[in-house]
Amino acid sequence: MAVYSTYADARTAYLANSDYADGSGDLDKAQAFRSACVALQILTPAAAESGGQSNKVATTFDSAALAGALARVNAWIDGVSGGRVLCANLTGVRS
């Protein structure tokens, strides 16, 4: 698992690896994307303010989108790495 200690590094890894499921389905990219999601959840402040007294701008971070991305990549990794078992009933199949 990759470790990102700065917001900029985590954001760069998030953007660079967000296409893990496109085309060939790269497991290494998916794992790097998962690490970036976790790092962004930790490193992103919940709220921030900027500007002076007369032009103050406040923003908040909604972590739901990032949590959704993390859930999707975890499910994708589980599916690719054999973490799921599929039991098929073939009793009705003719030979």
Determine the pLDDT at residue 95: 58
Q: Is the pLDDT of residue 83 over 70?
A: no
pLDDT digits (tens, 9 = 90+) for 49-79: 887 777 888 888 788 889 999 999 999 998 8
Q: Where are the domains of the chain?
A: 7-80
d(CA 40, CA 3): 11
Q: Give the type of residue at 35.
A: S
Q: Cα dihedral sign for 77, 82, 84, 89?
A: positive
Paired with 50 in beta bridges are: 57
- Percent with pLDDT over 70 in the chain: 84
Q: Which H, E and C letters describe 35-93, residue by residue?
A: HHHHHHHHHCCCEEEECCCCCCEEEECCCHHHHHHHHHHHHHHHHHCCCCCCCCCCCCC
Determine the pLDDT at residue 12: 96
Determine the pLDDT at residue 63: 85
